[in-house]
Structure formats: structure tokens, C-alpha cells
Structure 1
């Protein structure tokens, strides 16, 4: 009797082992990003549901945007072409802003990631809409969604007019987001205004970084100037030797000379 019970338990343990092993291989990884839905609706002329997500409230500057698509049955669409078109309506004029469309037609963990760089907040000056165009399942349509853009407590977007050729540049600070004492990743994204509707990435500038602690009158050693890493993004390193208010002084240079200077504030 005891032998039969032992054999039964042994068989059950083997079944459990193989069952859990097979299931774990089929599980979809759980996304680690905390998504916040900012808009949803059906793309016009289609039955494709579009959901628009961000990682936090939309602000002036660089905003990662994630798109989820569903067919008429509610099944998630994993292959599609997605593009963005932000538009600020100021009454007497309209303008767009820099964008980074999703680079792959394949969803990542169920989402199509891109970014929009909103150049001004919503308010008395005007209002923003975000068009999301999708091509999937042989259908093409656009979701038009109003979005509210706030001004962050500390600016993460600067603009300047080049001293060499009059080009207007937009510079967005991406990193550091959670600064700490020591070496931090630093990243900025650069764009220029070709027209009120065209803001391509800038890939040919050089950037000199000089951190400064204005209240203490010193900088820091061991910094690495941001260099172009692709798609208008420039990556480097900044060294914070203590907590407090820091200026990240940047000098921009093009092929003919110094285009201009600017700084971002980092306070922690």
C-alpha cells in the first residue's frame, strides 16, 4: 500500500515538472515599463482600435510614446506600420514638432514605441493634437487625439538660433533622469527646424560639455562629451561630485564654427 502511494506521488511530481516546464516556455514576458493610457479610439475608415500610451504625463520636451493596436475581435495586432503627426493650433498659425516614428513593423511586448518632442505647452497660446496613422491587416487609417502638454518644473527642452547659419535647433535632455553622485549617463536629442512642419534630426554637430555647480563655484572631472550615437541622439557621461544644483553647459559646434551655447539645470 505504501509502495503504491509512493509511486503515485512520484508520477504526479513528474507530470507537474513537465507541465510547468512547457508552460514557462510559452509565456509572454511581462513588460517592465509602467504604461499610462493617454488616448484611444478607432482609426478612421478602419475597424482598428488604437491605444496611445506614455510612461508619464506629456510635457514640453522628449516624450516616449507607445501604440497598442487591436482588430475588430479585440486581438492584439503585432505587425503594423505606425507614424506620428503632432500639430499645434495657435489660431493664426499651426506647426508640428520633432518626432521619432516606430522603427520596426513588429510590436515589442505588444507595443510600437516611438517619441514626440513637444516644443511648447498647451494653454492660452494654443492646443495640441496627435495624429497616429496605422497600416495593418491591409487597412490604413488615422486616429486624431487631443493631448495636453504641460511645462515641467525644470525645463528639459532648449532652442537656439545658430550663430553660423541662422538655423534654429531644438535640444532635448533625455538623461540623466535620476541623477546620483558619481558618473551618470548623459543623453540629448538634437533637431532643426526646416519649416513649421519639418523638424529632422541633427547628426553632424559636436558638443562640448562643462558641468558647473553655480552656488559652489566649481565643476567636475572625468566627464565625457556627448557624441552622436544615431537618429540625432548624442550620448556621453557627466560626473556629479555632490548633491545640489548643477548646470550642464553645452557648446554646440558645426562645420564652420560655434553655433551657440546653452545649459540645462539638474538639481538633486
Structure 2
């Protein structure tokens, strides 16, 4: 009898411990895949919230990485694998135009995140502004929404994108992608080159080359050793090279754009008589 009582007590205690353990289990919280980025704007429409993130606090002229999630406001869940396209448009007083941009693609790390980039050639102002039209499909239904966005000049005022007419009468947009945080060393330098096919179409230009001559105007306009011109990298889908920075301060990155035949489309050599190219980017660190 005592043995039976002990078995029953053991079973009861075991069940009790199991029940307590189950009650105390907390649900696993989802890790925010965009926690390291900044929410730049949110679009509320169609019972959804389109959340736009970037690595900066705002969209600026030049290269901008964009990350997007679409939330179902009915249950605060995020749609997986949404089909989505976009069209940024600058509304000027006399005309409208778009900008170079990538397609929006599902992130390989999280299927609720869509990623891409846009290169804004100019900032908005009181009378002229950018907006983005998103066309997306979730739950088997297609939606369209347009949102005005703020595009400002970089806080440091330095030029990292330039739009120009080449000697071939083609208008190009050339943007520096990296380095974002330059150091005193030989830095990897990356760039994207597009041409204006129409006011709304900007195809990527491949297999040109970009000659690089960095100078410090405030230090006798000296250059630096071990620089490498930028050439097109088909795997990275951008232009890559090496930028040597020998000290901190203000640098002007003098450039020349050459086509596949080696013809200079824009930019000049830096000489004693010519202190800077008409095609350039700027860095200060």
C-alpha cells in the first residue's frame, strides 16, 4: 500500500512540475531584421503599413540603400515574399524625372524584407519634391500607393554624385557607393554609372572605366600612392578600384570617365596649370 501511495505521489508531483513548466514558458519574440537601420518613412494605405528603412537618418542626394517591409495592420504580421516594384519621381516646376535605381528583391536573410537602392541626383526644396510609387501584390491582390519623401543634401555638404553631359551627348549619373567610412589606408572604392535614356529610364552602363586622381587642395594639392582606377566588376555589378588616403582632411577625388574605346567622355588630367577635374567627388574625414 505504501508503495502504491509513493508511486501516486511521484506521478502527481511529476504532472504538477510539467504543468508549471508549461505555464511559465514565454513565447519566442521575433528578432527585428531591420533593427540596425533607421525607419525613414512609413506609408499607411490599403490596410497595410509600408515601412521604409535606410542606414542613414534620411534619404540624401547620392546612393541610398533602401529596405522595406509590408505589415498587415489587421494582425501586425509582415507579409512574406511580396511582389513589389517602385518608381521614384522628382516633381520639378518645369518637368518630372526619375532616377537610377535597382529592382526591389527579397532579402536572402529574411523573406519579409525587400531591399534595393536609389541614386537621387538632387535634393527637394519648398517647391520641388520627390515621391515614390509602389505597386505591390500580397494575398493575391495588387495595390498601388504613392508617398512623398524628403531628399536632402548630405549633412557634410560633400559631393558624392554628379549628373553631367558627356562628349558623346549622353547624360550620365555617376555615384560613389564606398567608402562610407574612409580611413587612412588604401580603401576599396565602389561606384555606379547610369545613363539617362529618357526622363524615366536610367539603364546601367557597364565596361567603361573611371580614372582616379585624389588630391588634397589644402595641402599643396598633393596626391597619394597606390591608387587603382575603377573598372567594371560583373560579379559585384558596379565599378571597383583602390583609393589611397594618406592623412585625414578634405580630399577631392578627381575623375575621368572613359568609354570602351578609351575615349574621355568627361574630366581632365590634374596638372600644375589645371588643379582639378570638372568631374569629381569629395571626402572629408
TM-score, scaled to structure 2: 0.77
Matched position secondary structure for 1:100:
coil
Distance 1:177 1:105 in 2: 22
In the TM superposition, residue 245 of structure 1 has moved relative to its aligned partner by 1.5
Structure 1 unaligned blocks of 5 or more: 1-14, 16-22
Cα deviation code 1:83-141 (max 9, x no counterpart):
22011112332111111122337673742111111111111451111112212221211
The range that moved more, 130-139 or 97-106, is 97-106
In the TM superposition, residue 157 of structure 1 has moved relative to its aligned partner by 1.0
Q: Does 1:260 align with 2:263?
A: no
User: Contact conserved, 2:67 with 2:115, CA < 8 A, in 1?
Assistant: yes
User: Contact conserved, 1:80 with 1:105, CA < 8 A, in 2?
Assistant: no
User: Contact conserved, 1:39 with 1:52, CA < 8 A, in 2?
Assistant: yes
Distance 1:106 1:135 in 2: 19
Matched position secondary structure for 2:201:
coil
Q: CA RMSD in A?
A: 2.6
TM-score, scaled to structure 1: 0.82
The range that moved more, 125-134 or 106-115, is 106-115
Residue number in structure 1 paired with 2:149:
147
Distance 1:259 1:250 in 2: 11
Cα deviation code 1:143-187 (max 9, x no counterpart):
211111111211221122111x21111011111111110111211
Distance 1:26 1:49 in 2: 20
Relative to structure 1, is the Cα distance of residues 252 and 232 closer, same or farther in structure 2, using a 3 angstrom cutoff? farther
Greater relative contact order (Cα < 8 A, sep 6+): 1
Residue number in structure 1 paired with 2:114:
112
In the TM superposition, residue 39 of structure 1 has moved relative to its aligned partner by 2.4
Structure 2 unaligned blocks of 5 or more: 1-17, 19-25, 268-278
Residue number in structure 2 paired with 1:138:
140
Relative to structure 1, is the Cα distance of residues 91 and 139 closer, same or farther in structure 2, using a 3 angstrom cutoff? same
The range that moved more, 231-240 or 149-158, is 231-240
Matched position secondary structure for 1:91:
coil
Distance 1:131 1:33 in 2: 25
2:241 to 226, 236, 240: 236
Residue number in structure 2 paired with 1:54:
54
Runs of 4+ in 1 over 6 A off after TM superposition: none
Matched position secondary structure for 1:36:
strand
Residue number in structure 2 paired with 1:9:
none
